Each structure stands twice: as C-alpha cells, then as structure tokens.
Amino acid sequence: MNQRFLSILVTGGAGFVGSHLCRRLLSEGHYVICADNLFSGSKFNIIDLINNPKFEFIRHDITFPLYVEVDRIYNLACPASPVHYQYDPVQTIKTSVHGAINMLGLAKRTGARILQASTSEVYGDPEVHPQNEAYWGKVNPIGIRSCYDEGKRCAETLFFDYQRQYGLDIRVLRIFNTFGPYMHPKDGRVISNFIVQALLNQDITIYGDGLQTRSFQYIDDLIEGIVLMMENTEGYSGPVNIGNPNEFTIRELAEKIIQMIPGTKSELIFESLPLDDPRQRQPDISLAKEKLGWQPKVELSEGLSKTIDYFRDILKQNIY
C-alpha cells in the first residue's frame, strides 16, 4: 500500500517542541509548513530544515488568520515557560484563544484534522494525584500564571465546541513537563535552568524547599505521542495526558544534574516559591496506554545526558 504524504501545518514550529515535530514529519515524507512569530521560537532551531524542498517557514502570528491549504494542523503556538508567557500575558492569552479560533476556522474551511497541544497546567495546583483526564483542575483564574493556564483551558473548550457545533475532526493532548535539545537556555524552565547554571559554575537556584515534585519526559517520547494521537486514534478526540509518570523532587533533580556534570562548582541555593507554583505534578497515563499504545521509553538519565551535551555545545558557540 502506498503511503499518503500529507500537507501539514505546525504552528509554533520554530519552538522547542515544534522544531522536533517538523523534523519527525519531514522524515516521514510529508510537506511541512512551519508558522512561527519567533517570540519564543528561533530560526536556529530549524536552520537545518530551511533547504529541504518539502519545508516552508512562514513568519506569522496566529492571532491573525492564516490562509493555507493543508490536511493536518498541529497547533503548538504559545509561549510555554513562565519567563516568556508572563512577559506579555495579554498576548499569551490571545495566542491561546484567538489563535485557537483562527486555526479551528482554518480546519473548518479546509477539512483538516487539527490537534491542540494543551498542557498539564490545566490541572493547576492539583488536589488529585496523579492527575487523570477526568479531573477538572484547581486553577487560579486571576493569578500571574492564569494567562497560560486559563488560555489553554479556553482553547480546549473551543476545540470541543467546534467539534460539537461543526463536526470538526479534533485531537487534544495535555503535555506534561518535557525536556531535551533545542530548549531555550534562558526559558526559565527547571531543567534548562539547572543545566545551564551547572555548566557555567553558577549556583543552582531552587524555589521553595525543593520538595515539590515534577515528572519529566524526554522530547522523543512526546513527539511519538503527538504523532500517534493525530494519526492512530480514529474517532477519539481526547483529551489525553502525555508525560512520564516517574516523579522526582526538584531537589533530587538538581543533585542529579550536579552529579552528571563533573567538575562543576555549583551549589544549591534556595529562594521564595513563585505565586501559584504547583506543589506536585504527575500524569496518570492509563488513557495514553489504552488509546495510543504509548508509554515513555527514555529514562531521565539518558535524556539528561543528551540535553547536557546540547547545552554544552550551544554555550561554547555563544548562540544565545
């Protein structure tokens, strides 16, 4: 049977996750349109793709309509780290809400299947542990993180309303903490922060007592889950959690990174916990196993080793 090559739009395609997804889709022979306004993404992330005849980059902000002809839409556009989304909170919520409306409108016009990259942040500071998709979350609607949390929650609402009202073919994924190459070294996320600080022999900053927990998945596992959700779930829309259920305290993570960077002079320092920072975060991935046949394969140490090598390289090149 001949494989059908698709025309695919990836919004936020020059970002951390988006650039990995573009590579995966191109490796399968598809035509990829990467749309990004480069607020938190970077051309550096896709420089190796520019000369690929099946790849097209469009500098575009999805709060404005985009007119292209595509079979699939992966809607990843939105700054995902507190440093970026709190810099311009109004634009952040516009990206989630207006952006979702525009991309859903594009899907409605073209008949494309559309996937929303949602987030574990829809669960807020959870009272249920681990978090499953039936849990509605505990989110502060007026806090400093609300532009991201509530923007993503509203985007999910829009996706399911468009499905109910217009019969759109939608998919919704809730992505938990992810790391790997092509993260921005100054994005404020915990793993990039810790690795860069350790490589530069700076003290590692832990917010709070470091006993809050997170679960970290490597980027390759996430990309596999995203593609499976888009292509292997006929008739099922989600939402589905994609994350690694192995849970660590933030302090344990910092100590592990120090151990993996021999010779670093970094020590742990503690500062006040930011407002509305969740105390624990761990996905229940039962649904991903059942519906996608998916579970993470990359161990934390293996993923950290690859990510440390990446950051060591870009710091030497002084790219950022």
Q: How far apart are CA 237 and CA 229, in angstroms?
A: 8
Which residues on adjacent β-strands are paired with residue 11?
Answer: 35, 75
Residues found in the chain: 320
Active site residues: 148
275, with CB counted inside 10 A (0-12, 13-18, 19+), is exposed
In DSSP notation, 239-271 reads: -EEES---EEEHHHHHHHHHHHSTT----EEEE
Q: Residue 304: which H helix or E strand, with range?
A: helix 300-317
The label of the residue with tokens 């293996």 reads 302
Q: How far apart are CA 320 and CA 318, in angstroms?
A: 6
Q: How far apart are CA 272 and CA 237, in angstroms?
A: 40
Q: How far, in Å, are 21, 173, 238 from residue 220 at the CA level?
A: 9, 16, 21
Q: How far, in Å, are 4, 58, 113, 281, 295 from residue 106 at the CA level?
A: 21, 16, 10, 34, 31
